[in-house]
Structure 1
């Protein structure tokens, strides 16, 4: 049996507010504790994913530095890039890894491009996209080897006109029923090379 004075106290707005405040405080403390524990693990997983993506376009034998520590953004004509600098044992540039986004048919196509010091392409891979399955998704290496056609291409051995799909007079194949997707990727890779050459002062 609850005494009237106790029941009145329990039903009071002050008591309810204090109870809510204590509950919120305990929940916040618990979330903060979990975040403190899991944040380093999540950060490690993110770095592992980045390194795995980089390894596809920049072999570890190509550099001797902590590549992720060199991450920096740069912008050219509203086009945003993320760049990683690869360095040799003497600390000289041995290559670059560039992340760039292209405007595909169904949305952004996120790409990663690896080049050596002369800006010759070592590899290109698609990180994510929303292109049509069976058509535009052939930009994925798991679906089609098309993306390998960028290997060893550079601004010096491939003319500006050749940096296009064959339908537009260039050297790169297009996909039947999905020309927009490969065109977007070719244009983005070419533009990334051009902007990187200007930024790094590399003669094409």
Structure 2
């Protein structure tokens, strides 16, 4: 192969890489709004499942504020939704992160009553192994429903782990890391929401929608 042909092939490869990168970026830009809309719809569906309409008379999505606290599993501000019925606080829901999933962070939605009783948990986003760790999805297993009705007594509540570690939650065959991460994240966040419920209900939090539009 001559030097000229090598240069030509190198140029063609570089041009192909540039075009491919441009196409990827273009597709991401075109689908970003659609993905955001789908994520919002999923969150709304999950909110309505764990905080049913008979528990509130306000618009949960419009009553969303941003909260920055490590107990929610992220250094970034996380959405917290506040439910009221006749102006009386009835539930708090927060998007939380289980940072130590088997294949990466797991995004969850957790709702509690003001007294700390858990109304429900749903999985919003994850990359866990299909057939194993993906049993945290309600579509794959009813495991995620096991949180409803439970309460964290304290930071030292030893019940809040999987049965293999002496706790009260089932683990998945061949995939203990995933449920262990979810249980720990829910425990930490639920305790934080309960201990700070009065402040969270009454604070003037940064609006989720305004922040997302910046």
Q: TM-score, normalised by structure 1?
A: 0.71
The 1:182/1:44 distance shift into structure 2, 3 A limit, reads closer
Deviation at 1:156, TM superposition (A): 4.0
Deviation at 1:121, TM superposition (A): 1.2
Query: 1:49–1:158: structure 2 CA closer, same or farther, 3 Å change rule?
Result: same
- Work out the CA distance in 2 between the residues paired with 1:99 and 1:114: 9
User: 1:50 Cα deviation (Å)?
Assistant: 3.1
Cα distance between partner residues in 1 of 2:142 and 2:59: 30
1:102 equivalent in structure 2:
98
Residues 57 and 112 in structure 1, CA contact (< 8 A), matched pair in contact too: no
With over 3 angstroms needed to count, the CA separation of the structure-2 counterparts of 1:64 and 1:44, relative to structure 1, is farther
| Residue equivalent to 1:190 | 187
After superposition, give the CA deviation of every residue in 1:65-108 in whole Å (9 maximum; x if it has no partner): 1111121121223734321000011x010001111011210011
Q: Which residue of 2 aligns with 1:68?
A: 61
Asked whether 1:134 is paired with 2:131, we answer yes
* Separation of aligned partners in 1, 2:123 and 2:161: 18
Structure 2: 5+ residue runs without aligned partners? 1-29, 200-214
Shift of 1:115: 1.6
The aligned runs of 1:174-189 (5 Å cut-off) are: 174-189=171-186
Unaligned runs of 5+ in 1: 1-34
Distance 1:136 1:44 in 2: 26
Partner residue in 2 for 1:54: 47
